[in-house]
Amino acid sequence: MDLFAPRHLIVILLIALVVFGTKKLRTIGSDLGGAVKGFKQAMKEGEAEETQAQSSPPPASPPPQLTTHPTEGAAAAPADASTSKNRPAA
C-alpha cells in the first residue's frame, strides 16, 4: 500500500475539513499560496541580481588608509615633561 494513495489523501482532507472548517482552510490555502508566490518572486529577483552582478565589473576599492588611533599613539609615545606635571621636582 502506498502512503499517499488517493484514498488516504481524501481521508486526510476530510479530517482537516472537520477539524479546521471551510473558512479556516480557505484562509490557510490563500496564505500558503501567497507565500509560495512571494518566494518564487524573490528567487527570480535574486537570480536577476546575481546575473547583473556577474556581468558588471566589481567597483574599485579605495586604497587602504594608514592611520593610528589616538589611544594607540598615546600609549606608545614616550613620557615627556608635559605628562609629568603632577610629579614633584627631585
Instruction: Identify the pLDDT of residue 65.
Output: 80
**Which tens digits make up the pLDDT trace of 68-87?**
766 655 555 555 555 555 55
**Which tens digits make up the pLDDT trace of 27-47?**
989 999 999 999 999 999 988
CB-CB contact of 13 with 6 (8 Å): no
Instruction: Identify the pLDDT of residue 83.
Output: 54
CA 49 – CA 43 distance, rounded (Å): 10
**Residue 5 scores a pLDDT above 60:** yes
Instruction: Identify the pLDDT of residue 51.
Output: 84
| Residue carrying C-alpha cell 481521508 | 11
Phi/psi region, residue 21 (left: phi>0; alpha: psi -120 to 50; beta: rest), is left
